[in-house]
Structure formats: C-alpha cells, structure tokens
A and B are shown apart, each in its own frame.
Chain A
C-alpha cells in the first residue's frame, strides 16, 4: 500500500470530496526514456571505420577513415551548435596514412578532446589532443605500439588527470593509462576470449567496457567487462566477463562493432549479422535499467535499429540530446522530453488492475486537435507512450495524488462531432509489456547457476522493468540456503515473458505488483497484517460478499508436490471436513527437499484460500490501495467485523460529466 499524507488519508474518508485525477504522458519504454531519432543528415560518404563525440561546448565531432589512393586519411568534422539545418558534409583531412582496419576513437571531457587512430602499419597508436572543444589539435603523440595488429580502440576520461586507452590486438584487450599527460606501459587484460570484433568503453564509477567477439567454444558473444576503479571492482583489476547476448557456434549469427554511451542509462548499439540463407546485418540496440550498477548487467532485450552501416554506429550525447553518427548519417534524439500533462483536458477514465493484468481507458478533450498535432501533442506517436496516473483529492494542502500506477498505450482513437472532439487512449499495465515480448531463441539458466530472484530480475529487465523484493519469501532470499532454489529454467522460442515469469513464480509463494515500471515481489501469508480498514471510518457504499467456489473449477483443499526425490503437501482441514478431499498434484522437479515441497504446497493452497472469497465493495477511492494488500472489512449484516481480506483487483471510475469518482475493490481470502 502506498503511503499517503495525513491530509489525503483523511480526505478520502469524507462523504463529500473534490477528486483530483492527474494524467501525464511520458516518453518511456517501461522505466527508461524512449529515444525518438530524427535524421539530420544523409550523405554520400563511403562506409568506413569512424567515431563520434560531443565536445563540452556542444559541438558534434566526427572522424572517419577516407580512402586516398591505396592509403587512408583521417578525416574530421566539427559542427558547432548542431541542429537540423547544420552542415554535416564538411570534412577536413587531418592525418595521412592511417589504418582503416584498426578503428578510430574520440574522447571528450569539457573542452578537452582526444582523437585516437592507428598508423597504416596497424600497430602504432597515436593520440591528437585538443583543449578548445576540438577546434584545433596539437601534434600526434604515440600512446603505444602494439605487438600485433590493432583491430579496435576506445579511449575514456576518468577526469582531467587520468584517462585510459583500451585497444584490441590478436584477441587480447590492452589498457594504457595516461596520467597528467604521460603515457604508461600497456598491460593485457586478465580475461580470455578468442577474437575481439568490437570494443567500447565508458567511465562512470569504474571503467565499463563492452566487447564483442567469440569465445573458445566458437560462440559469438556481446560481453560486458569492468576495469575497476574501486566502485564495483577493485582499482586496477578486471571483473570477469558477463554475457549480454550469446549466439551458439554454428548458428551463423555474429556480433561486432559495439558502441556505448550513458546519456541517461547505459546504452549500446552493436551489429548483429546472420550469414545463412536470408542473411542480414542489423544494428541492434539495448539499454540498462535506471538506478542500477553496470555490474548488475540488467539489459533490455536488444531490438533492431532502422539504420544501415556495416562499421557500426557511434553514440554520443550532450546534456539534453543523444546523437548517432555514421560516416554518412547523423541522428538526434531528446534525452528527457517534458511530460505532456493531460490533466486539464481529462473527461473520464476507467482503470483496472488485478494480479496479472490491467487496463486504462482515458478520454481527453481534443477539440482543437492539439493532442494529435506533432507540435503540441504526440502526432501519431501515442502508441507505446506511458500514461502515468495520479489518484487523489483536493485537500487542505492542495491537490494531492498517489502516482504509482502507469499504463502503456496500445491504441488510440479520435471521436469527432460538430464542435467537439475526444481522444480516447487505451493502455495496459506492465503485464502487457511482458506479454508483448516473445522469445526468439532459447534462453537457458542451468540448474545451480543462479537463484529464482536473479532469473526474475533478468527476465523483467528484458522488458525494461526493475525488480525489487519487498518482504519476499524465504525461497527468494539469497541468504537462506535451506530454502533458496537454484532452478534449471529455460524459456523456449515463441514463449512470452509473462508466461515465463508466471511459470517461474510457480516455484515460490510470492505475488507481483507494479508501481509504475517497477515490479515489487512480496510474499503472501495468512499472517499478513491488515494495512487499512473499510466499513468503519472509510464507508462502504455498496457490497457483495461471496464465499466458496468462485467458478466451475473446483478449488483444491489438499495440495501434493512431487518434487525430485522428495514429497510435500498442505491441507485445509476445515474444507476437507466440509467437502472431503479435493486434491491437486504437481510435478515440480526443481524442488529437491521436503521443506521446499511443503512450502510450495502451502503457497498453492493459499491461492485456493484467496480464491475462495470473492467480495466486491464500492467505496470512495483509496488512492494508495494496491493489489495483494490486506485490508479489514466491517459489515455487521454480513457477519464481518474487521475481517481480513486480500485485494485481488481494483477498478477506478472517474467521470467529470456525471460527476463520478469511485472504486470497486475485489477482495479474496488471506
């Protein structure tokens, strides 16, 4: 239950109130900003190795290899105040005879800019530096001479004193530290891969790297690696490689040319190529979740970008905009567009949430067509937009609302008649985001490799959803080896995330509720304390109280778990005495002890307990109520005095015309 202010708590119990319902449209893919790229430049430049960066004064910096006879020059472009009308086709050749196969890098720190390239012999790595936002560069300085041909370079600033050059040669990544302008000796990483096909680095708390390549088994992989600076990894040491994306050997799928940036969260673009019949090479992008560490390695499922460039895509950003660059293209996206506030034009809405679904239908006034214009609204880009709902009242402290519910728009429609027009927005909860995601490959978690909660975090992250444990069960704890389960779990092609998560959660007794795009996982026990009371100070307007079998399907009163080498069961003795035994048996071979099996049986039996009550009460809306909350219900005529019930579903109706503001709560047993 969301914690409400004392004034809001008091207001929602009053007989006469003034509703305050807030609705804002936000550019979010689940928890992370949705970047809408606008192409600013389409040129005729040849596709070669290239780099991009953003100087402290907002200049867009680009560098690329340009063929000059049998050799290649380093060509450079600096566009001050880049915008839609800027000239992106102006390039200057600043270095002759560079390697086209070794890569180029640009690093920036306020007015400092460094340009990294490798000479034509592919081993001598040079850096040209600027202190005026890339307007001019000093003479090239030799940073290192590799012992094998260099294939990829990356350069990052920790601060104005310390910077690190990373480069790949013969499948090994090296780091060279520059301290106060003095280059140190190169040192190889302590990790092992077979080949490196892409390398990118970003400094934030540690040196965070992305590497594409192959391992000894021939698998193509996108890895993340950390060269520690004392945050998640000890300074000067390497954290083990973590896999983001894996393609098995022989699958003909490979990954290469990776870039990284952190305009808001960590974002990356890498190339995915398939060389079988129907071959393709597609830039693929993904991002992490907000407020997590790089070490957590929680990335959204990668998705394709509608850009063609066989040498990868460079990603850079200013404080307000992210930029993509290729030799012949420039794109820009706003990092954090302002929310579009629909509150003043909201005419009516219905919102519904239950244990595993939810819908919102909102109608807003659109008489002047403002919301379907690209200037003042979202044009045709309403699909996928987040609607953040605030439920509240006008209180003595002003307009107050609880804003924990978010929905994502599936469809919209305009209804028009003479003199008026309405925009109707149809949206769903994060469960729909999970339902829309479909596996395109086998995803496997071998037995013993990780816990249920880590699998859950990984699965949720693939839809951009963060997972938080909130009084979760002991099975989800990582500190209780007697209960913690390390299951063998797999997601098969075509399965949805929703299905996979529901299947995973069958192993535990916890329930999931969403606050915006965060999944809260909470155990449900018969001992759960009541968080609120209806029927006393918060009146019930209408009610129906129903007990017993809710549908034609019988509710089990005895649950037996056939675990691997163990047996567990749970019984509702009162129900067995009334109706004899109705038994459910389940084969759950991920459980291996009687304790696990008994706990699991109890969890399933509790679902029967919850389902065996199906009350509905209509009240003035409680703004902070959530599914899974336990509340007291008092209704003397039904024989209920502070009877505990669990919230199964909440339906809100708000209509400014009637006017109407009410909440229908579906309640189950505890």
Chain B
C-alpha cells in the first residue's frame, strides 16, 4: 500500500474519477483516478488536495482518492 498527496486538476462526475497532479510532478498529471464512493461530487473541486492510495503499488490502475481536503 502506498499513499501520496496530490492536487485535484479536474473531476469527471460521470465516471466519479479525477485528474490529479501529484506533489513533485510539475509537468504531468495522472488521469482517471477513481474517487471513493463516500466522497460527494461537490467536494471534488479543482485546486483541493487529495490523498491517493495504491493498494497494489505496481498497478497504477489500482489508485483511489480516499480523502479530499483544502
């Protein structure tokens, strides 16, 4: 399990997923990161911080945003 902090760049309500800029990644974002179901759409706002967890660190598709905060 690996946890990183990032900044929300964009949110797709249809897929309940977000684009995240991880701390330290100046030029590149990670797209399509699932947002935990218990986080409301209205809370996933561009510019807010998010904590992202990778239950399987070797698989980028396993990422999930489990905390959103300012």
Q: Which residues of A come within 8 Å of B, CB atoms?
A: 246-248, 250-251, 253, 274, 439-447, 487-490, 492-494, 503-504, 506-507, 587-590
A246 — nearest CB in chain B belongs to which residue?
B28
Are B59 and A590 touching (Cβ within 8 A)? yes
Q: How many Å from the CB of A567 to the closest CB on chain B?
A: 15
Contacting residues, chain B, for A506 (C-beta < 8 A): 58
Q: Measured between alpha carbons, how far is A105 from B23 in the docked complex, in Å?
A: 40
Partner of A441, one of B2, B25, B57, B61: B25
- A248-B29, A442-B30 given; A494·B24 CB < 8 A: yes
Contacting residues, chain B, for A441 (C-beta < 8 A): 24-28
Are B28 and A589 touching (Cβ within 8 A)? no
Q: Measured between alpha carbons, how far is A589 from B22 in the docked complex, in Å?
A: 22
Q: Measured between alpha carbons, how far is A494 from B6 in the docked complex, in Å?
A: 13
Q: Measured between alpha carbons, how far is A127 from B58 in the docked complex, in Å?
A: 54
Partner of A493, one of B25, B56, B57: B25
Are A442 and B29 touching (Cβ within 8 A)? yes
Q: Measured between alpha carbons, how far is A494 from B25 in the docked complex, in Å?
A: 9
**Which residues between 15 and 70 of chain B lie within 8 Å of chain A, taking CB atoms?**
21-30, 55-62
Are A493 and B23 touching (Cβ within 8 A)? yes
Partner of B61, one of A248, A250, A447: A447
Q: Measured between alpha carbons, how far is A606 from B25 in the docked complex, in Å?
A: 37
- A444-B30, A587-B55 given; A488·B24 CB < 8 A: no
Contacting residues, chain B, for A250 (C-beta < 8 A): 9
Q: Measured between alpha carbons, how far is A288 from B29 in the docked complex, in Å?
A: 25
Are B29 and A588 touching (Cβ within 8 A)? no
Are B58 and A493 touching (Cβ within 8 A)? no
- A503-B57, A507-B58, A590-B56 given; A246·B27 CB < 8 A: yes
Partner of A589, one of B9, B27, B61: B61
Chain B interfacial residues counted at CB < 8 A: 21
Partner of B26, one of A274, A446, A447, A490: A274
Are B59 and A487 touching (Cβ within 8 A)? yes
Q: Measured between alpha carbons, how far is A446 from B22 in the docked complex, in Å?
A: 17
Q: Measured between alpha carbons, how far is A443 from B60 in the docked complex, in Å?
A: 10
Q: Measured between alpha carbons, how far is A84 from B4 in the docked complex, in Å?
A: 51
Known: A274-B26, A487-B59. 10 other contacts (CB 8 A): A246-B27, A250-B9, A251-B21, A251-B26, A439-B25, A440-B26, A441-B24, A443-B28, A587-B55, A589-B62
Partner of A442, one of B25, B55, B58, B59: B25
B1 — nearest CB in chain A belongs to which residue?
A587
B23 — nearest CB in chain A belongs to which residue?
A493
List 6 A-B pairs, Cβ < 8 Å.
A246-B28, A440-B24, A442-B30, A447-B61, A492-B24, A588-B58
Q: Measured between alpha carbons, how far is A487 from B62 in the docked complex, in Å?
A: 11
* Most B C-beta atoms less than 10 A away, residue of A248, A445, A446: A248
Partner of A492, one of B4, B9, B27, B62: B4
Are A248 and B27 touching (Cβ within 8 A)? yes
Contacting residues, chain A, for B60 (C-beta < 8 A): 444-446, 488-490
Q: How many Å from the CB of A137 to the closest CB on chain B?
A: 42
Contacting residues, chain A, for B57 (C-beta < 8 A): 503
B29 — nearest CB in chain A belongs to which residue?
A248
* Most B C-beta atoms less than 10 A away, residue of A446, A507, A589: A589
Contacting residues, chain B, for A494 (C-beta < 8 A): 24
Are A247 and B59 touching (Cβ within 8 A)? no
Contacting residues, chain A, for B29 (C-beta < 8 A): 248, 251, 442
A250 — nearest CB in chain B belongs to which residue?
B9
Are A504 and B58 touching (Cβ within 8 A)? yes
Q: How many Å from the CB of B50 to the closest CB on chain A?
A: 14
Q: How many Å from the CB of B11 to the closest CB on chain A?
A: 14
Contacting residues, chain B, for A248 (C-beta < 8 A): 9, 21, 27-29
Contacting residues, chain A, for B26 (C-beta < 8 A): 251, 253, 274, 440-441
Q: How many Å from the CB of A505 to the closest CB on chain B?
A: 10
Q: Measured between alpha carbons, how far is A326 from B26 in the docked complex, in Å?
A: 28
Q: How many Å from the CB of B4 to the closest CB on chain A?
A: 6
A562 — nearest CB in chain B belongs to which residue?
B56
Are A589 and B23 touching (Cβ within 8 A)? no
Partner of A588, one of B2, B21, B56: B56
B52 — nearest CB in chain A belongs to which residue?
A492
Q: How many Å from the CB of B31 to the closest CB on chain A?
A: 8
Q: Measured between alpha carbons, how far is A506 from B29 in the docked complex, in Å?
A: 25
B32 — nearest CB in chain A belongs to which residue?
A446
Contacting residues, chain B, for A504 (C-beta < 8 A): 58
Q: Measured between alpha carbons, how far is A490 from B60 in the docked complex, in Å?
A: 5
Q: How many Å from the CB of A291 to the closest CB on chain B?
A: 30
B19 — nearest CB in chain A belongs to which residue?
A248
Q: Measured between alpha carbons, how far is A447 from B24 in the docked complex, in Å?
A: 23
Q: Measured between alpha carbons, how far is A442 from B26 in the docked complex, in Å?
A: 9
Contacting residues, chain B, for A489 (C-beta < 8 A): 58-60
Q: Measured between alpha carbons, how far is A444 from B20 in the docked complex, in Å?
A: 13
Q: Measured between alpha carbons, how far is A445 from B58 in the docked complex, in Å?
A: 11
Q: How many Å from the CB of A389 to the closest CB on chain B?
A: 34
Q: How many Å from the CB of A591 to the closest CB on chain B?
A: 9
Q: How many Å from the CB of A230 to the closest CB on chain B?
A: 36
Q: How many Å from the CB of B17 to the closest CB on chain A?
A: 14
Q: Measured between alpha carbons, how far is A325 from B26 in the docked complex, in Å?
A: 29
Q: How many Å from the CB of B53 to the closest CB on chain A?
A: 12
